[in-house]
Amino acid sequence: MLKPKEVCQKLGISYRTLQSYVKKGYIKPVILQSGKWRFREEDVEKLMGIVRKRKVILYARVSSQKNDLINQVKYLEENVKEYDQVITDIGSSLDMKRKGFIKLLRMILNNEVSKVVVAYPDILVRFGFEIIEEVCKAHNCKIMVLNKEDKTPEKELIEDLISILVSFSEKLQGMRKEKVKKCVEELKA
């Protein structure tokens, strides 16, 4: 995000001209809670005639099996001929701190992505897929799901409950490991 002074320097204009551009709708400021203006770099670049190529991203995620991840990436590559990057994760779809997912989300928020391709909707997130869709829409990015299964509400509910149980089991197991380590360290001391 650029300050008005930085925008004026990049464009070679005065502050009054920048205000005029905003008034005419040539560029839209992001208004902070303090009331100060900030501008997106891509908006300034558009005014300068610079257009960045946005990427098509293939996103694959599995819970644990690396072979399944390789197969999922192959499937995506076979079905999408033109893409720019593949981002992968190994982890639960309930874990929102996956490195690849965070990287993808940052790229979307920076308007670097035009399309995200996944094999199934729950590859991105188990819950809140609609929220991710809305974020993408706000940043002119589309999500393409290759396999949209029509599941009965009962089957979907059962799968969601199993996902929650597995996730909490993994967390509980992790907590147990930490407690065991702590006890061992206390015994050594």
Q: Which residues are catalytically annotated?
A: 63
**Cα separation of 86 and 100, whole Å?**
10
Q: Which residues contact 106 (CB under 8 A, 6 or more apart)?
A: none
SS3 93: coil
> Which H helix or E strand runs over 86?
strand 85-90
User: Among 135, 145, 63, which Cα is nearest to 102's?
Assistant: 135
**Cα separation of 83 and 115, whole Å?**
9
Contact (Cβ atoms closer than 8 angstroms) between residue 92 and residue 63: yes
Return the bridge partners of 144, or none. Answer: 117
